[in-house]
Structure 1
């Protein structure tokens, strides 16, 4: 699905946020890697060739154990750039599923599953699968990452 209207680009712009590190302690301190509507539209419509379901320890914890962790999906595009699509409470403004340049990921992330999508999905498909709302019990980062990977 191609996003061409201004509302679609705006919605993606607010979802495409980059915070320091792997979402440091101040989740409301946002900076942006992409700000032009044309760049946002291009990323949103980019085909995903590979995806890695990844986890890391929760903020402030030294280890992860099962659901006591944070999940996301790192996607690889045709140009070999990598982006993390993940969800969390208060991560975004209009959507709690956000897209982060993978350069901002800490080294505590670990690959749990890899899939080759061969360009059959776009970044927008992953954002939509993540969903806009967050619920700790019923619609959290683990649920979102599972939907993104088709599980």
Structure 2
């Protein structure tokens, strides 16, 4: 059974949101929580990942991406076919800067740069953990996190 601290962390890590940093709903700072029940969040967190796509998109406000002047994340596909974006950014989360977002909110600006078949050997929580809790533009940014997620 999960402790209260773990349950709160799960809720915060898996909290699903939409904002301009994600490349969704451009020009808004609204939040859309797709999963609200703790049992649904726990189920997502423990779901097995079958495919992972490392993806990039231009930074918010830019029309093109130029090398590291872009945003990275990993879109995971679960057994049921649902897709979720695991990505990291400054002020994305509360207890962790690596968050999980329903991929249906992704803009068309995201492009696949690498695909890996995990065959159910990893869970969404493994990807969140690999992303890390803290964000640093120079030492631990979205590109670093996406790389660790694909390498673990």
The Cα offsets for residues 60-81 of structure 1, whole Å up to 9 and x where unpaired, read as: 0010011010000000000000
Q: Secondary structure at the match of 1:31?
A: coil
In 1, distance between residues paired with 2:99 and 2:123?
14
Give the counterpart of 1:12 among 10, 13, 21: 10
Normalised by the size of structure 1, how large is the TM-score?
Answer: 0.92
Q: Which residue is equivalent to 1:61? A: 62
Spell out the pairing of 1:14-33 with structure 2 (5 A cutoff). 14-15=12-13, 16-20=15-19, 22-23=23-24, 24-27=26-29, 29-33=30-34
In 1, distance between residues paired with 2:129 and 2:9?
11
Q: Which residue is equivalent to 1:135? A: 136
Q: Which residue is equivalent to 2:87? A: 86
Which of structure 1's runs of 4+ aligned residues deviate more than 3 A? 23-27
Deviation at 1:8, TM superposition (A): 1.9
| Alignment coverage as a number of residue pairs | 148
Gaps of 5+ in 1: none
Q: Secondary structure at the match of 1:53?
A: strand
Deviation at 1:14, TM superposition (A): 1.3
**2:49 maps to 1:45:** no
Q: Which residue is equivalent to 1:75? A: 76
Deviation at 1:7, TM superposition (A): 2.1
Normalised by the size of structure 2, how large is the TM-score?
Answer: 0.91
Gaps of 5+ in 2: none
Kindly report the root-mean-square deviation, in angstroms, between the aligned alpha carbons of the 2 structures: 1.6
In 1, distance between residues paired with 2:104 and 2:2?
27
